[in-house]
Amino acid sequence: MKLKESQKLYTKGLVNLVGAVNSPVRAFASVGGNPLFIKKAKGSTITDVDNNKYIDLVLSYGPMILGHRHKKVQKAITKALKNGYSFGASTENEIKLAKIVCDAFPEMDKVRFVNSGTEAVLSGIRLARAFTGKDKIIKFAGCYHGHQDALLVAAGSGLATLSLPGSKGVPEGAVKNTLIAKYNDLESVKAHFEQHDDIAGVILEPVGGNMGVVTPKDNFLKELKEYLQEKGALLIADEVMTGFRSKFGGAQELFGVTADITCLGKVIGGGFPVGAYGARNEIMEMVAPLGGMYQAGTLSGNPIAMAGGIATLTELKRQNPYKKFNKVAEEIEKSLLKSAKKFEINVTVNRFGSMMNPFFTDVKVTNFEEAQTSDTKKFAVFFWEMIKNGIFLPPSQFEAWFLSSALNKADLNKVKLAIDKAMEAVSKM
C-alpha cells in the first residue's frame, strides 16, 4: 500500500500548520505513523491523495450519517450558494431547520444555532447558570464536551476524578466550578450535592462516545433526572454526538428521560459547521435578545450550513435507517467477537445505534476507568491492518466508529474480512 503523497503533504503541512492538522485526533498520535490526507469522498467511500479507497467508518466523526455527498444535500447547498454565503441577517432556512430540530426533541420549544458543538455546550452551560443563578457544574469523567476551558477536565484524558485542568493554558480558576463524577454512578453525583449548595446542573453525554462508546446502565439517566429535579438543578444533555444517531431526535427519549437543556452539533449540519442548544420556552427566554444571557455569532445560522442541515435531516427522516443501523452494528459486533475468539484476543464491544467500537480488554466497559484498561498497542496494530484492508477507522481506541446509511452489503463484507485479518495481526504481535 502506498502512502507517499500523504507523507509528502504531511511534511509540507508541518511548516505552517500545527502538526499538519487542525484538530489533534487527526494526527494519528495514538496509533503511530503519519496521518492520511484525503482527496475526496462519495457515499460510503473515502479516497486519500494516493488514491487508496476506504470504507469510511469515521464519517467526519459523525456528521456524514447519509454517507458523503448525498445527491439531495449536494443539490440543496448548490442552490443555496447561488443566493449568497452570509448576510448578517435572518433567513427563512433558519426557521425551517429550527422547526425540524424542535419537532424532533419533545422538550425543546426554542433553539439557537451556533457554529460548533463546543459553542453549543459552552452556551448551554452559560444558560444553565443564568437560569438557576448557580455556578457549579458536574461533569462525568471521560465525557467530552468540546474544548471550552471550564469543561476541559477529565475529558477523556488521564486526569479523571481530580478537578485538574486537562490542558495547559486552562487556569485553575476556570475549572474551580467544575465537579467530576463517575459515569453510571449516581452516588458520585449525590456526594457533590451533599457538599455544595450552588450546583446549577449536570452535563453528560446520554451515551458516552468520547471514551469509546459507553452506554448508561438501566435506570441511570432516569434516576439522575429525578434526583436533579428534587435538588432544583438542571440536566444538560450533550447530544452533539448522539443526536439523530440512534433515532430521529435524541438518545434521551430512548431512555425515557428529558433533559432541561439539549446541545447538538455534528449530524444537524450534515458536514457543515453547525451546533445548537435548545430548551423549553421558560429557559430559552433567558437568552438575548429576549433575556439577559448574552450569546452571539457572526456566522451563526449560516445559509449554506442551514441548507445542508435541512437537506440532511429531511433525507434522514425519510430513510429512517435506524433499524438498519442496529442490524449492521450487530453484524459488525458479531464479526469482532468471532474473530477475537478465533485468535484468542480479549475484546469487549459496546454499541448504540450507529455508533460502536471494540475495546481491547476483558473488562466490561461502563465508565472511563474501565475503558482505560484497554490495550491501546493492540488497537494501533488493529487500526493499521484495517487501513491496509481498506477500512478507515478513527485513529484512537477511545473514539466511536460511525455507520452511514450509504453502507451496503458488499461494504459490510469488506469490513468483516478486514476485521478477521486485523485480529490475526494483533494475535501475532
Ligand X SMILES: *Cc1c(COP(=O)(O)O)cnc(C)c1O
How far is 9 from 38, CA to CA, in rounded Å?
Answer: 10
Select the residue interacting with ligand X from 35, 67, 124, 146 (CB under 6 A). 146
Of the two residues 275 and 395, which places its CB atom closer to ligand X in the complex?
A: 275
308 binds ligand X (CB under 6 A): no
Between residues 238 and 385, which has the closer beta carbon with respect to ligand X?
A: 238
Nearest approach in angstroms of CB 146 to ligand X is: 4
Q: State yes or no: residue 238 binds ligand X (CB under 6 A).
A: yes
Q: What CA–CA distance (Å, rounded) separates 240 from 2?
A: 35
Alpha-carbon gap, residue 19 to 246, rounded angstroms: 34
One residue of 116, 132, 177, 178 binding ligand X per CB under 6 A? 116
Per CB under 6 A, 368 contacts ligand X: no
DSSP 227: H
Give whichever of 209 and 358 is closer to ligand X, judged by the CB atom: 209
Instruction: Report CA-CA distances (Å) from 427 to 169, 344, 368.
Output: 41, 7, 26
Q: How far apart are the first and last CA of the chain?
A: 20
Helix %, strand %, coil % for the chain, to 5?
A: 40, 15, 40
- Among residues 275 and 321, whose Cβ is nearest to ligand X? 275
**Cell output for 365:** 466497559
Binding of residue 77 to ligand X (CB under 6 A): no
Distance of CA 284 to the CA centre of its chain: 24
Residue 123 interacts with ligand X (CB under 6 A)?
no
Task: Tell me the residue ranges of DSSP E strands in 62-145.
Answer: 110-114, 136-140
Query: 136, 266, 378, 414: which one is catalytic?
Result: 266
Please work out the total of residues on this chain that contact ligand X, with binding judged by CB under 6 A. 15
Longest CA–CA span in the chain (Å) reads 63
Catalytic, out of 10, 61, 144, 277:
144
State in angstroms the smallest separation of the CB of 314 from ligand X. 22
C-alpha 340/C-alpha 34 separation (Å) is 27
Q: Is 266 a catalytic residue?
A: yes
Nearest residue (beta carbon) to ligand X: 117
- Cβ-based neighbours of 226, under 8 Å, separated by 6 or more: none
Peptide bond into 321 cis (omega under 30): no
C-beta of 24 vs 32, nearer to ligand X:
24
Residue 182 CA to residue 46 CA, distance in Å, equals 37
Among 58, 214, 221, 240, binds ligand X (CB under 6 A): 240
Cα Rg of the chain (Å, integer):
21
Site for ligand X in 393-422 (CB under 6 A): none
- Residue 241 touching ligand X (CB under 6 A): yes
The answer to whether the beta carbons of residues 160 and 180 sit under 8 Å apart is yes
Catalytic residue among 238, 260, 375, 420: 238
Residue placing its CB nearer to ligand X in the complex, 121 or 418? 121
**Residue (136 or 145) nearer to ligand X, CB:** 145
Contact pattern for ligand X over residues 260 through 299, marking x by CB under 6 A: -----x---------x------------------------
Amino acid in position 353: G
Of 43, 209, 301, 308, the one binding ligand X (CB under 6 A) is: 209
Output phi, psi for 402, to 5 deg. -120, 145
- Would you call 238 a catalytic residue per the annotation? yes
Contacting residues toward ligand X, per CB under 6 A: 116-118, 121, 144-146, 205, 209-210, 238, 240-241, 265, 275
| Residues marked as catalytic | 144, 238, 266
